[in-house]
Amino acid sequence: MDINDLRRARSAAATRMQTAADQIATLEAAETPDTDALATASAEFDAAEAAFNTAAAAVQRAETVEAAVAASIDTGDEANPGTPARAATARSEADQGVTAGLMVQALARAGGDRDRACRYLDEDGHSSVSAALTGATDSGGGVTIPRPVSSEIIELLRPRVAVRASGARTIDMPAGELRHAQQTGSARASYTAENAAIPESEPTFGKIDQTFKKLTSLVPIGNSLLRHATPQLGRMVRDDMLRVMALREDLAFLRGDGTQNTPVGLRNWMLAGHWQTGVAKTVAAAEAAVRRAVNAVEDSDVAMVTPGWIMRASAKNWLASLRDPNSGALIFPSIDQSGTLRGYPIRTTSQLPDNLGDGGDETEIYFGDFDEVMIGDSMAITISNSTDAAYIDANGDMVSAFQNDLTLMRAISEHDLAPRHDVALSGIQAVGWSL
């Protein structure tokens, strides 16, 4: 079991304790307590408590090991033995995540054997990477690389994924599940007559559950490259992982419908009243739709901490080209001047389609306060490999790894997405805005 499995076990035991405690309280409050049921509930509580204590101790040990592994990664201070140990950091931005790339390359070269991969890394002069890989855990036929290393890759996804880059909060989901409250109705204040009773008023809350959705990606590596564990190859493998993971994350976080084990994306969290359809390709219609999208969020008393837009680049360029029919002045000059629309930054992604609708010419524009969007992340990546499998390339063609002398590396990460308040999102389905 890896550290996340242990945390899930601890969480499950805590839930069992709560259930048993509630049952005991109910039985004890009865006028004639059922002694047999009370004894059974008490025994269940004791068993759950013992399971919780065992799991909690195991989690603490695993966290101690994880911290030790992080501290053992090369910091560049070996020449000064008296220097206090600190977590490893990349010497330059270009080197961030290279450790993960070198780990993937070494595991591919070793056929997934972690011990052999560590030896290869030592032989090639990457002892610090080998030390980090030593702390990895075996998981389902693959290797879960240590969290400090995985976190670098996940952090590098932020500027590449429109939703992450727009300011969505990334929250650690170590137990595989995150529950949080959603306020569905607010309390009210009112004036009353002197000595009159104050009307009762309470906010109402709903519950949003986030549970892991598994994202997988394939990275083909030429076997002729695997003999050379260079930082340049590590960067190449890292960049391939980031590219395929970012494209798929963007699509899921934006338009996922929750089926086939995908997250529910922003489009499907939006309230019907916050979504505009069939907006025509005219200056007046575009200006009004943009204004209404902002109004829908601001009028909902959203804090507007990190508001912004997400759209296709072609839609952004179309909006930037709009001119007043009378004066000829640009309607939205800030798009070219500062990359903003009505004062809010624009992020672009090709993962929003431009061929929607009956005419095949519709696209989607999203607006929201992305501080309200939460991404629950396991903060871990599991790597496995095969020299015999096949994969479908970008052209839709089947490629045999064996026939082409490739090694396929599969990376798995787990996450989910949900807004704290769905009123923080709005959008436009626009006709012809990308043409």
Going by their DSSP bridges, the two strands 373-386 and 275-279 should be labelled as unpaired
> Which H/E stretch holds residue 391?
strand 390-392
Q: Cβ distance 433 to 355 under 8 Å?
A: no
The CA distances from residue 300 to 61, 175, 305, 386, in Å, are 46, 33, 14, 51
Q: Cβ distance 360 to 434 under 8 Å?
A: no
What is the structure's pLDDT at 306? 96
Q: Give the integer Cα–Cα distance in Å for 2 and 16.
A: 21
The CA distances from residue 1 to 18, 129, 137, 140, 383, in Å, are 24, 23, 8, 10, 16
Q: Cβ distance 374 to 180 under 8 Å?
A: yes
DSSP 388: S
Q: Give the integer Cα–Cα distance in Å for 268 and 313.
A: 22
Q: Cβ distance 205 to 184 under 8 Å?
A: yes
What is the structure's pLDDT at 61? 83
Q: Give the integer Cα–Cα distance in Å for 75 and 87.
A: 7
What is the structure's pLDDT at 82? 43
* Residue 380: partners with Cβ closer than 8 Å, 6 or more residues away: 2, 4, 144, 145, 147, 150, 413, 414
End-to-end CA distance of the chain: 52
Q: What count of residues does the chain have? A: 435
Q: Note the pTM of the prediction, 2 decimals.
A: 0.67
Q: Give the integer Cα–Cα distance in Å for 347 and 225.
A: 36
Question: What dotted CATH number matches 93-181+204-435?
Answer: 3.90.1690
What is the structure's pLDDT at 411? 79
* Residue 419: partners with Cβ closer than 8 Å, 6 or more residues away: 266, 269, 368, 372, 373, 374, 425
> Which H/E stretch holds residue 107?
helix 98-109
What is the structure's pLDDT at 321? 96
What is the structure's pLDDT at 62? 78
Q: Cβ distance 290 to 426 under 8 Å?
A: no
* Residue 424: partners with Cβ closer than 8 Å, 6 or more residues away: 297, 300, 302, 368, 369, 372, 373
**CA angle, 361 then 363 then 366, to 5°:** 170
Q: Give the integer Cα–Cα distance in Å for 353 and 118.
A: 44
Q: Give the integer Cα–Cα distance in Å for 309 and 312.
A: 10
Q: Give the integer Cα–Cα distance in Å for 289 and 79.
A: 62
Instruction: pLDDT tens for the chain, 435 residues: list them.
Output: 667 677 778 888 888 999 999 899 888 888 887 888 889 999 999 999 999 999 888 888 877 776 666 555 443 434 444 443 333 344 445 667 788 888 888 888 888 888 888 888 888 778 878 877 877 777 666 788 777 788 788 778 878 899 999 999 888 765 555 555 455 555 566 677 777 777 766 655 555 555 667 677 677 777 776 666 566 777 777 788 788 788 888 888 999 988 877 889 999 999 999 999 999 999 999 999 999 999 999 999 999 999 999 999 999 999 999 999 999 999 999 999 999 999 999 999 999 999 999 899 999 999 999 999 988 887 778 888 787 878 777 677 888 888 888 888 777 788 888 898 899 999 999 999 986
Single-letter amino acid, residue 126: H
